[in-house]
Amino acid sequence: MQLQGIFAALTTPFAPDGSVALDKFRENIVRYNASGLAGYVVIGSTAESVLLTFGEIERIWATAREAAAPGKILIAGAGVESTAETMARSAKAAARGYDAVLIKPPHYYKPLMTPAALERHYRAVADASPVPVLLYSIPQYTGIAMTADWVARLAEHPNIIGIKESSGNVQLAAEISRSCGGGFQTLVGSASTLFFSLTLGASGGVLAVACCLPELAVEIYQATRAGDFTRASQLQQRILWPSQVIAGELGPAGVKYGMDCVGYFGGHPRSPLLPLSDAQKNRIESALAEVIARSAAISRAS
Amino acid sequence: MQLQGIFAALTTPFAPDGSVALDKFRENIVRYNASGLAGYVVIGSTAESVLLTFGEIERIWATAREAAAPGKILIAGAGVESTAETMARSAKAAARGYDAVLIKPPHYYKPLMTPAALERHYRAVADASPVPVLLYSIPQYTGIAMTADWVARLAEHPNIIGIKESSGNVQLAAEISRSCGGGFQTLVGSASTLFFSLTLGASGGVLAVACCLPELAVEIYQATRAGDFTRASQLQQRILWPSQVIAGELGPAGVKYGMDCVGYFGGHPRSPLLPLSDAQKNRIESALAEVIARSAAISRAS
Amino acid sequence: MQLQGIFAALTTPFAPDGSVALDKFRENIVRYNASGLAGYVVIGSTAESVLLTFGEIERIWATAREAAAPGKILIAGAGVESTAETMARSAKAAARGYDAVLIKPPHYYKPLMTPAALERHYRAVADASPVPVLLYSIPQYTGIAMTADWVARLAEHPNIIGIKESSGNVQLAAEISRSCGGGFQTLVGSASTLFFSLTLGASGGVLAVACCLPELAVEIYQATRAGDFTRASQLQQRILWPSQVIAGELGPAGVKYGMDCVGYFGGHPRSPLLPLSDAQKNRIESALAEVIARSAAISRAS
Amino acid sequence: MQLQGIFAALTTPFAPDGSVALDKFRENIVRYNASGLAGYVVIGSTAESVLLTFGEIERIWATAREAAAPGKILIAGAGVESTAETMARSAKAAARGYDAVLIKPPHYYKPLMTPAALERHYRAVADASPVPVLLYSIPQYTGIAMTADWVARLAEHPNIIGIKESSGNVQLAAEISRSCGGGFQTLVGSASTLFFSLTLGASGGVLAVACCLPELAVEIYQATRAGDFTRASQLQQRILWPSQVIAGELGPAGVKYGMDCVGYFGGHPRSPLLPLSDAQKNRIESALAEVIARSAAISRAS
């Protein structure tokens, strides 16, 4: 199973009464279908996964499955603290037609989540999952740092096909690509390093900022694959600032406001995530305005 | 509402088929009822809270409510990531007759969980909860450090009556007691510092190791309150090593094995928590043997 | 060699022209000689050791040697990054009549300062030193955490007789005392935990706050040794707040201002340490006023 | 003053008796003179700066000044803990003909080294220094993280002309370039991210691995400046692994052994830095062999 290109880490829209706005979610996907996105991650960190009930998650999974255009790859975020529950969710995602599952490490009992404990967890999940498993490295949220050596051991499992690497550390992504060999696929989770990671062996990206700027992210991927590194580098510079502000600094609320700015439905996050202040909104507006200005300048120049 | 004395942070026993063994849970509580424990925390970190479904949690809450002797205070662990879900669980615990709720901070989106965001979360929960709220500081699991100044701001809320402080930092517990004034109650979450914290203003302890050694923990509390600091200090020395090994180092699996050693039903933890190795079991056996030997020596001497 | 009781970690006074005020330094020591202090640490972190030239350090060592009353134990801070230079400084301190050397771990190349590298460093220093060696654990400054197991390995060296443990972690100090056996001496480096550490096996303390409140620190030691834990605990409560504010929070500048407040010569720190703001000075004045008020109250009560 | 291109962070060779081998140091520089290196950093972290006396440092500075070819820019590492001593060393470096000074932050009293304290230190040094000042961000050694906002404030000082940014965080280097405006020069301190940093605004690099592979580092710079991003990217991939192993993982001892492998004089580090094990040497040999093999392959292909 090939995971190449840009995957949007979808947000979860909420209705004014706080329930999940499945209609808005569907509308966003229909628009993304027209882009060059390779697929969608449904129920990642950007989706406020830990603030949703499993009932809500199942409806979101079903909606995305129906709304996604043929050929779009669907990856379900299915990892929770319990090994058994992670296995159960992975089975349900597979039953709904998802192509792979993305499994974040259990992390609440941090001092007990030794490399050995995490390895046992991932092997149990991968043994049981009807669809391929992606590891998920996001130490800024989990406090769990995955090393290249550890990843390489798990990469030998036939049902563990790759990793979403969101630490932002270019060297680590490169080291993982190097240690794990050709079959193992590294999807970078940070748009700030997309071009660089692609040149160092990543096969694509799973990006929150692709919810606001899907075409720009896809262009970086395509320019890099086409060998047009000059253009890829220019585009990388363009996405850097919005990516830092929107996804890196402001999280799901930032991504959602960025979506509102460019015509998707974003809306508010669930509490305890705070709604944005006016100053934060202004930073996002400026960052997006700059992208648009630079795009125009590059168009004029070419 | 007075929270004085020692509260056991109860474990969750599992049957061989992996389901919650409510009968064993009830039997443990019936035995604890005969001790001097002030009450129980039901569904704290020691209970493997994040590995249980809410259906299981509700049955555990109900069982503890039925089994607890009159006069034992019942505190429900009710905090999850979502503010709304935390409010819902608090209401359900109150409806089941729990005396207070213990609310750990949302922590998944760490960089976004600013002091302001956490304050808003706790105020919303405390505004809505029918029963008093305890803060819960356990940075080794959550990655969220609570400062004395921040706690003091929340202590002004009439429905926030105290904190379980599990960082192990004696100075912090003392600073909280000092900053928050007389009405606010600090329950220390680490048996290693019980006597010291009591002398510095803590009103009691919520202790995992009290599942194995309830009498010893209660004796430390009583000797301190009676002003017999010589005896309190001797007992503190006795509990230090088992507390470090069992609760500090080995977590829920360690507490459970310690319970098995002294005649309660402990059993195995849920995955991804690992079962203990033989070497780990031996460390627990040694630590408990030492307590028993020291107890005999102290008895002979007195 | 017995290291029992309270050692003041002396500050370095500076003259208005920025040079070391050896006369003021001598006057402070003469006053301390009249107290129950067991001795002095000369050129520890509190002395702004890293801001002094070795020429200045030698003059300070010589002055303290001359000024110290007979029977006061003198410990020289002699650790620097280089193993060879640490050995040379230790030899010079011994030649000047110092009783022991306190050696902080080399820490600049943190990722390279593995337990093995640090063990080799300390063994080389201890092999060569004409006087006994004390380890120095102060992770808040060095970023180097020493574990009880690691300390226990070094404690087997006949010329390594103890440790100054300044992490503030009561459990760690207790674990070190436990792991290292009777001959090894743990001096706690934090007044906030003095009484507790003494009950758990520490033989004394090396305290910055003893520069301002030597009698109070000595009284805690003496009451504990006399088995009067009630009084020791009361005194411990009294020293907690000034110790946190003066030494924990404000460092050498705080200790110096505290000394000025109670009649010793403190003065200003060297840059880049900042002079205190008025608000910081007020915090120190309040903390000291509270100690004096409590002392009066306790005197009246007894 | 323009700092463009690649600067080697020179190592300090030692003679068998442990003294500084100035003759070997000179020979290395004479060979580097023939390369495309823009200049040298003399007494950086790679030089084992904290293990040298100032007498040794002065002789090393003098030797480098004599040996460096005309046109090579010389940057002196002159930062120590004391503000006054840093000013004195900067003046001496300037008097010896150095073009700029590189000033690492004081970091021993970490909790006291607030942004305000560090700003005051750097302003004092920059006010006094006869030559321009470079900031130095290397949190893995100092524990001090510099933010882009903080750097931007200091960038307004007319005598602070740039920063060596060694954190390895590509986004941070980009953010600094963005925040500080055109005149401020960012030299990246990690070869692993050289090409990427150059495309995001860095003006060059100060690289330890340039002691072993100066031509390769210079080629990356030149290809990037020439707009040949395809070649720059290929070369970046080539340098990644040796840079990680030699400089990132093994530090000064690794750089020195790498130099020995390719014909410079490296030699052993000073204690407490450990000499390399055979396994570590093998890793370096493999990493360098791979570079050479890839270079041959690329040559054949072109």
This complex has an ipTM of 0.95
Whether D29 has a pLDDT exceeding 70, the answer reads yes
Q: Which two tokens stand for residue A214?
A: 């899907």
Task: Catalytic residue, from B24, B72, B164, B256: name it.
Answer: B164
Helices (H), chain A: 22-33, 54-67, 83-95, 115-128, 139-142, 148-155, 170-180, 194-199, 214-225, 229-242, 251-261, 278-301
Q: Give the contacts of A70 (CB within 8 A, at least 6 positions apart).
A: none
Q: Give the contacts of D280 (CB within 8 A, at least 6 positions apart).
A: D250, D254, D257
Whether A187 has a pLDDT exceeding 90, the answer reads yes
Of C139-153, D60-74, D171-185, minimum mean pLDDT range? D171-185
% of chain D with per-residue pLDDT over 90: 90
**pLDDT confidence band for B112 (50 / 70 / 90):** very high
Q: Give the contacts of C142 (CB within 8 A, at least 6 positions apart).
A: C104, C105, C107
Picking from A14, A20, A52, A112 by the largest number of B CB atoms within 10 A of its own CB, the best residue to mutate is: A112
Distance CA A187, CA D286 (A): 28
Q: Which two tokens stand for residue C294?
A: 């409590």
% of chain D with per-residue pLDDT over 70: 97
Q: Which two tokens stand for residue C7?
A: 């050692």
Distance CA A131, CA A128 (A): 9
DSSP letters, B184-242, are SEEEE--GGGHHHHHHTT--EEEESGGGT-HHHHHHHHHHHHTT-HHHHHHHHHHHHHH
**Cβ neighbours of C270 in D, within 8 Å:** 82-84
All chains having 3 or more CB pairs closer than 8 angstroms to chain C: B, D
Highest mean pLDDT among B297-301, D177-181, D219-223: D219-223
Which residue of chain B comes nearest to A52, CA vs CA?
B82
**pLDDT confidence band for A181 (50 / 70 / 90):** confident
Burial of D62 by CB count in 10 Å (0-12 exposed, 13-18 middle, 19+ buried)?
A: middle
Distances (CA, A) of B175 to A207, B179, B206, C237: 43, 6, 19, 11
Nearest to D151 by CA among D117, D190, D184, D121: D184
Are the beta carbons of D140 and C50 separated by less than 8 Å?
no
**pLDDT confidence band for A293 (50 / 70 / 90):** confident
Distance of alpha carbon C284 from the chain centroid: 20
Contact between D89 and D49 (Cβ < 8 Å): no
pLDDT tens for each residue of B155-190: 999 999 999 999 988 889 899 998 998 789 999 999
**Cβ neighbours of A208 in B, within 8 Å:** none
**pLDDT confidence band for B297 (50 / 70 / 90):** low
Q: Give the contacts of D298 (CB within 8 A, at least 6 positions apart).
A: D234, D238
% of chain B with per-residue pLDDT over 90: 90
Minimum-distance CB partner of A200 among D169, D227, D240? D240
pLDDT tens for each residue of A259-283: 999 999 999 999 999 999 999 999 9
Distance CA D119, CA B200 (A): 38
Whether B142 has a pLDDT exceeding 70, the answer reads yes
Q: What is the mean pLDDT of residues B94-117?
A: 98
pLDDT tens for each residue of C74-112: 999 999 999 999 999 999 999 999 999 999 999 999 999
Distance, in angstroms, between C131 CA and closest chain B CA?
A: 33
Q: Does A164 participate in catalysis according to the annotation?
A: yes
For the entire predicted model, the pTM comes to 0.94
Contact between C15 and C21 (Cβ < 8 Å): yes
Rg (CA), chain C: 18
Minimum-distance CB partner of D174 among A171, A178, A240? A240
Nearest to C118 by CA among C153, C89, C88, C85: C153
Which residue of chain B comes nearest to C190, CA vs CA?
B171
Distances (CA, A) of B252 to A109, A222, B267, C184, C232: 9, 49, 10, 33, 35
3-state secondary structure of C56: helix
Minimum-distance CB partner of A270 among B51, B82, B117? B82
**pLDDT confidence band for D297 (50 / 70 / 90):** low
Peptide bond into B275 cis (omega under 30): no
A and B: number of Cβ contacts within 8 A: 99
Picking from D19, D50, D54 by the largest number of C CB atoms within 10 A of its own CB, the best residue to mutate is: D50
pLDDT tens for each residue of B220-264: 999 999 999 999 999 999 999 999 999 889 999 999 999 999 999
Distance CA C136, CA C109 (A): 17
Q: What is the mean pLDDT of residues A1-18?
A: 97
Which residue of chain A comes nearest to D227, CA vs CA?
A230
Per-residue pLDDT of chain C (302 residues; tens, 9 = 90+): 899 999 999 999 999 999 999 999 999 999 999 999 999 999 999 999 999 999 999 999 999 999 999 999 999 999 999 999 999 999 999 999 999 999 999 999 999 999 999 999 999 999 999 999 999 999 999 999 999 999 999 999 999 999 999 998 888 989 998 899 878 999 999 999 999 999 999 999 999 999 999 999 999 999 999 999 999 999 999 999 999 999 889 999 999 999 999 999 999 999 999 999 999 999 999 999 988 776 666 555 55
pLDDT at site B143: 95
pLDDT at site C293: 76
DSSP letters, B122-181, are HHHHHHH-SS-EEEEE-HHHH--PPPHHHHHHHHTSTTEEEEEE-S--HHHHHHHHHHH-
pLDDT at site D295: 67
Q: Give the contacts of B63 (CB within 8 A, at least 6 positions apart).
A: B22, B25, B26, B29
Task: Catalytic residue, from A24, A164, A256, A281: name it.
Answer: A164
pLDDT at site C211: 98
Distance CA D47, CA C115 (A): 23
Q: B201-214 as b/e, with b when 16 or more CB fall inside 10 Å?
A: bbbbbbbbbbbbbb
Contact between B77 and B44 (Cβ < 8 Å): yes
Distances (CA, A) of B160 to A23, B48, B129, C53: 39, 25, 10, 53
* pLDDT, mean over chain D: 95
The three-point CA angle B64-B70-B75 to 5° equals 45
Q: What is the mean pLDDT of residues B113-132?
A: 98
Distance, in angstroms, between C247 CA and closest chain B CA?
A: 13
Which single residue is written with the structure tokens 């909606």? A63
Which single residue is written with the structure tokens 């090894």? C184
Q: Does an H or E element contain C214, and which?
A: helix C214-225
Distance CA B217, CA B236 (A): 8
Name every residue in B having a CB less than 8 A away from some CB of A: 18, 45, 50-53, 81-85, 106, 108-114, 116-118, 120-121, 124, 140-141, 143, 250-253, 270-274
Distance CA C204, CA C210 (A): 12
Nearest to B205 by CA among B222, B181, B186: B186
Q: B147-156 as b/e, with b when 16 or more CB fall inside 10 Å?
A: ebebbbbbbe
Whether B301 has a pLDDT exceeding 70, the answer reads no
**Cβ neighbours of C192 in B, within 8 Å:** 170-171, 174
pLDDT at site A194: 96
**pLDDT confidence band for B298 (50 / 70 / 90):** low
Q: What is the mean pLDDT of residues A170-197?
A: 92
Which residue of chain A comes nearest to B116, CA vs CA?
A274
